[in-house]
């Protein structure tokens, strides 16, 4: 369970096409509000799944309750993936 706990040193987001510079296509943020497409770079995220809930833990929060909520999210996602049969399966929310 501890592999879901980490300190995130920075949040980066892709720059808009009109504001991109040659130096890089990401901008750093100290704070993210609402649902935004961000890239999170931190240790211990090997088993994280893109698009799942993101919890910020404060000292007064119930860590065990947040861990349980995280595991419920992961189990819901895993239950929606068809793993029967042979070969390679790719599931996406939309057809390309």
Domain count, the chain: 1
* 62 assigned to some structural domain: yes
pLDDT tens for residues 33-71? 665 666 777 777 777 777 777 777 777 778 888 888 888
Q: Which of the 8 DSSP states describes residue 3?
A: G
Residue that the structure tokens 């100290």 belong to: 30
Q: What is the pTM of this model?
A: 0.49
* 43 assigned to some structural domain: yes
Range of the domain at 71: 2-79
Please answer whether residues 49 and 66 qualify as being in contact, where contact means their C-beta atoms are separated by less than 8 angstroms.
no
DSSP letters for 59-76: TTS-HHHHHHHHHHHHHH
Calpha distance 11→27 (Å, rounded): 9
List the CATH number of the domain containing 14: 2.40.30.10
């Amino acid at each position: 369970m501890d592999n879901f706990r980490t300190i995130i040193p920075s949040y980066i987001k892709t720059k808009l096409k009109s504001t991109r510079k040659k130096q890089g296509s990401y901008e750093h943020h100290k704070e993210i509000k609402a649902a935004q497409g961000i890239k999170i770079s931190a240790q211990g995220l090997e088993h994280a799944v893109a698009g799942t809930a993101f919890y910020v833990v404060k000292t007064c929060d119930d860590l065990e309750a947040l861990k349980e909520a995280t595991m419920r999210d992961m189990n819901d996602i895993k239950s929606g993936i068809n793993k029967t049969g042979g070969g390679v399966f790719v599931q996406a929310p939309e057809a390309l």
